[in-house]
Amino acid sequence: MRTEVHKTKDNSVCVSLHFDTKDLTLSHTPFGVIVKLEDLNSTGEPGTPALPRTQLRLALPEPFWPGSLKIAEDKWELVTDAGTLVVPAQQYRPGGGGDFQGAHPAGEPALHCAGDCTCRTIHRPDRSPVDEKDKLPAPPFTPPIPEAYVEAAKNPPPIVQAVRIETIGANRIAVVEVTPIRYTLKGQLELCTHVQLAIDAVKTPCMTDKDQNEAIAEFSKIYGKDVDKSRVIPEPERFISGSAEASRLRDLAISQVINPIVIGSIRRDWPIIELRSDYLIITDDVTWDPVAITPGVSRPGLIKEFERLAEAKRARGISTRVVSITDIVAGRWGNFRAGSRDLQEVIRRFLKDVRVRWGVNWLLLGGDTSIVPVRRVAGALEGGIDPPLTVNPPADNKSFWTGSHLRIHAVDPGTWWGASTDNLLVRPDTGALIRYDAAGTSSSTSPGWYFTTADDYATRSATPTNFVRVEGPSSLVNAGLQFIYAWNTLPTDFYYASLTSWVVRTRPVRFGAVTFQMPYVYTPPHDWDAIGNGVYGQFRLDGSDMDGVNLQIELSVGRAPVETAAEANTFVNKTLAYERLGRLGWRAANRQWPRNLVLAAADWGSRAVFWPTGNAVPADGQYSHDATQSRSLLKRDAAPDSFAWDVIARITEDDRRVLPYKTDANPVVRGWYFATSATDPTPSRFQMNIFGTRITWPTRSPWVIIHGSLAERTPQLYEFNPRGADGSMADQEILRKQIRSELPGIDRHQRFYEDEFDLPFIDRIAAPVDFLTVSNIRSALDAAPHIVSLSGHGSSNGCCSLSANTASNLTNGPLGFIAYADSCLTNQFDEQDSMSEALIKNPNGGAVAYIGNTRFSWIGVGDNFQRAFFHRLTATRHLGLLNDSRIATFGTSGFIAGADRWAIYTLNLLGDPELRVYRAAIPSLRLPLIKVKLRKPFIRILGERKVPSGPPVFGDPSPVKGALVHVRQGPKLEFTGVTDADGVVFLPEGRFEKGELEVTASHDEYAVVADIVQVEG
């Protein structure tokens, strides 16, 4: 996709979008055509055509709002000649746990096959076996919905449509969705090769009493209660504390919109803030009970260690303060405990206050969740129970309405489901909570749910079962419901970053000839719980908010997941080592270090092998041969999750035959097909009328019939292999090319892929690549890379052959790497102890920072967030701001925007949010003088000069102008100055005494230097 911004005579915005057929890929499979368009995601509601779409952001100049959207000059080109069946969109799949099936029945090791055999990814001595309970099943296949395809042809979505209005700083941002491929009435596909869109700019309309009253009535209807009139107002402008925050917001806007030219300069009328603290560290020397808001076990020394970090920040000119939770709770800066439900709310209310009073921009949570608690919110995915059906008793994960109560057969409604009285039951459309009825008092007028002993749902059970009875009025419980349980409860530090809590609704407001959608907001009494049921952060599957969680960041937040002074010491040491490129004497060797990148990918795809069995009906991971019918029957644990597969009969180690897919059951025809069941060998399929043609659609199932020669029906084993490059590796290759283009200074790439042999030749030769093993990834990480990107199935114990135990024992030295994982649960810091924590707390190596998910990551979603993270590095170096880029990714992954909101909550940063990430080889500052005289004292700062051409090489040091120099002697004597053109800053005469003087020098274009000089007479 190419964008072209046009100049306009007024303040309107005009942009042209261009799409090239060369960027379009149509892959034909037995199940339809897979449509891919470069830079776009092919998505849709499950069962509807999976067509490419994306969301774009267009900025309006200050102080204007977006008005009407106009489309012109759209040009279309047919890309298929006849009716085309596009594969249907599917439910998102979590990227966690292990996904291999097919262990040898006798527990034997893998075959000693050739070095390039795919079975090397199956049984490796350097990889721990997958625990069966950790496997994440693929969601059930959703077949095409004929009516949806007909509707897509009759009423295709507009090429561009308005989605919402966002605010970044003082600029209003129009978010539009673009769908450049559509069906024609004949079922052909056509591509929009060019379209021009224009958005009118209008001034802020005024609110009338009538407008406000209508908004109040709407909010009262939503929440089923009278809403305080004072809490309903037009969406206010954001408070900006100063130039630092304004600069960050401006950089954020520039990096997110397609027309950055309209983003204005930074304004200068900042509020006056006393006792400014740009950087805030919240910690304590004691654990806390967040519910009772009472202190627990002593953890001495944490405050002292974080004071070391605060001193280093102040030495770089960043006003920093360390505050204890004890002082916050005690009311030292105000009474934030009164009216708060828990410690999380106390801390949040404190932050809302001091952000304005102190001008806070950076927040480090100095402790694990036992010290600084995390907020847990309800996820909209998993745990769902469909609206009631007419079958009684209900089938697995279905419900039935009797006329007086609802019956639910909850067998496995979510990944890693566990029946428990601690689970919550909610209405996913309204957020209403139906509480567990422990006392047995629920009725048709008093909502509640409980377990029963059997499928007659008559006898209450005190212990959890699969049978759930729900009491309450029909208007509440006769509907689709959702269980909130351990694995869709999302721990998130975003609660401390997004400090504005309101529910947004829009109302049409007339402004001249333009009808404008004016945002109104309702501010709830308890942030993130506008519904008022004690369940925080509820949202719908489409990503829409119900509880007042505003996707806007006021504080850039990171966490130091430490519990002891020793762990805090390690965290601070690694942070300072990164800023200073290691210990004194290491700098010359380490200045090239920022160029090093490691990419690792473990397969998303469900690669599997199947061993022979003598049983007539094979178990999962087995096949049986029926000589009388000249066929073999293969059994998967579930229907495959992809449309493109190869079935391979491994006759011997050197004889591997790819069997073609076929659509009929004739045993004479060689090949394979999905069978209806173990006892019904007919092809699994259904028929539908679409585009004037009756189409037979093969459906995926766990049963596969194979016909062929005797050798092909009785091989050593079968392989069920995804066709082409695995999605995880493909994601990493897109990221590698992006970094090569946008961040050319990070140019030393190492790759470790499970699916290395499916890597195209042109990509194979681009950088070193090797097979992913524990030993390979361990060696690469011990060699001290700068950036590490991981992609693949994961758990709290790790991913990509990197376990928590390996992470704890890495020996890459004081320069920790920055790791990003597009994987499930690797950052599950609310448990003891995740792989991310092991990396951070390793005193001999590991990571200085980690970005990863506290719960599931979703395949096809997480890679968008990772690319946005590294794209943001082109605009800012601050680590927290890179992670904050996830806000702009909301809505870009496709139809189920709830997966985007989920990722925004679960992608948390462990590390210093203000840390400046290196984008290339970095020169060092130097202190040439080791002694300072009492009379006319001065400090000289030199810096290595970068050679202007060729590879990154640095020449002899020269004076550095504009370096910030901070000197300190003892606890009270301090001075800060800026070097002149000769690299010199003069110190005040008579202030310092003989002895040691701590000197810190910093400059945006150099690594920080900190050293000791002697003051002499």
The domain that holds 149 is classified in CATH as 2.60.40.3800
Q: Name the nearest CA neighbour of 498 among 321, 377, 340.
A: 377
Pair (41, 157) in one structural domain: yes
- 903 and 771 within one domain: yes
231 and 184 co-located in one domain: no
CATH number at residue 869: 3.40.50.1460
Last residue of a domain, one of 910, 937, 962: 910
- Rounded CA-CA distance 329/321 in Å is 17
Check whether residue 861 and residue 730 sit in a common domain.
yes
Label the pairing between strands 406-409 and 467-471: antiparallel
- Could you tell me whether strands 189-202 and 160-168 are parallel, antiparallel, or unpaired per DSSP bridges? unpaired
How many CB atoms are located within 10 Å of the residue 996 CB?
12
Query: The CATH number of the domain where 982 resides is what?
Result: 2.60.40
pTM of the model: 0.84
Tokens, residue 995? 């002895």
Give exposure, 97-130, as e/b (b: 16+ Cβ within 10 Å).
bbbbbbbeeeeeeebebeeebbbbbbbbeebeeb
Co-location of 296 and 425 in the same domain? no
795/861 same-domain check: yes
Under 8 Å CB-to-CB from 724, ≥6 apart: which residues?
Answer: 644, 758
Q: Are 893 and 41 in contact (CB under 8 A)?
A: yes
For residues 404-425, b (16+ Cβ closer than 10 Å) or e, as one string?
A: ebbbbbbeebbbbbebeeebbb
Cα(341)–Cα(330) distance, integer angstroms = 16
**Of the residues 701, 722, 743, the one at which a domain ends:** 722
Is 754 within a domain?
Answer: yes
β-bridge pairing 232-234 and 160-168: unpaired
**SS3 state of residue 786:** coil
Alpha-carbon span 799 to 822, nearest angstrom: 9
Among 719, 472, 746, which Cα is nearest to 608's?
A: 719
Asked if 363 and 408 sit in the same domain, the reply is no
CA distances from residue 427 to 173, 379, 483, 727 in whole angstroms, order as listed: 32, 13, 9, 34
Q: Does one domain contain both 656 and 640?
A: yes
Prior bond of 63 cis (ω within 30°): yes
- Helix, strand, coil percentages for the chain (3-state, nearest 5): 20, 35, 45
The two tokens of residue 949 are: 């051409």
Q: How far is CA 864 from CA 160, 380, 510, 887, 890, in A?
A: 21, 20, 38, 12, 10
**Residue 871 parent element (H or E):** helix 862-872
Amino acid code (one letter) for 609: V
Assess if residue 550 is contained within a domain: no
**778 lies in the same domain as 792:** yes
214 within domain boundaries = no
Let me know if residue 146 belongs to a domain. Answer: yes
| 989 contacts 936 by C-beta, under 8 angstroms | yes
Beta strand 1006-1016 with 995-1003: parallel, antiparallel or unpaired? antiparallel
Partnered with residue 909 across adjacent β-strands are 851
Same domain? 936 vs 971:
yes
**pLDDT, position 270:** 63
Residue 624 in any domain: the answer is yes
Q: Which residues form the domain of 475? A: 384-484
Using CA atoms, how far residue 473 sits from 184, 391, 404, 446, 619, in Å, is 46, 21, 8, 8, 45
Give 10-residue mean pLDDT values along the chain (1017 residues): 88 92 89 89 88 92 84 92 88 57 35 32 32 52 86 92 82 90 93 93 72 80 78 76 78 85 71 80 98 98 98 94 98 96 98 94 98 98 94 96 97 92 96 95 96 96 97 96 97 97 75 58 92 96 93 95 98 95 56 93 82 94 95 89 81 88 92 94 84 78 95 94 84 96 95 89 93 94 97 93 96 95 95 92 98 93 94 93 92 82 98 96 85 88 73 78 92 90 92 90 90 87
Task: Name the amino acid, one letter, at 275.
Answer: L
Structural tokens at position 232: 């309903």
Residue 187 gets the label, from left (phi > 0), alpha (psi -120 to 50) or beta, of left
Query: In sequence order, what are the residues at sequence separation of 6 or more whose Cβ sits closer than 8 angstroms to the Cβ of residue 895?
Result: 43, 44, 45, 48, 89, 542
Q: Which long-range contacts (CB under 8 A, 24 or more apart) does 459-466 make?
A: 464/419, 464/420, 464/421, 465/419, 466/409, 466/410, 466/411, 466/419
Calculate helix-pair angle for 862-872, 243-256, nearest 10 degrees.
130
Please indicate, yes or no, whether residues 781 and 884 belong to a single structural domain of this protein. Answer: yes
Half-sphere exposure of 720 (CA within 13 A, CB side): 33
Is residue 219 domain-resident?
A: no
Q: What's the pLDDT at 248?
A: 77
Identify the pLDDT of residue 96: 54
Give the CA radius of gyration of the chain. Answer: 30
Interior CA angle at 91 toward 85 and 95, to 5°?
A: 125
Residues 748 and 848 reside in one and the same domain: yes
The residue out of 675, 695, 722 marking a domain boundary is 722
The tally of domains found in the chain comes to 6
Phi, psi of 1011 (to 5 degrees): -155, 175
The single residue listed with the structure tokens 């951070």 is 840
Task: State residue 136's pLDDT score.
Answer: 56
- The answer to whether position 252 is within a domain reads yes
133 located within any domain: no
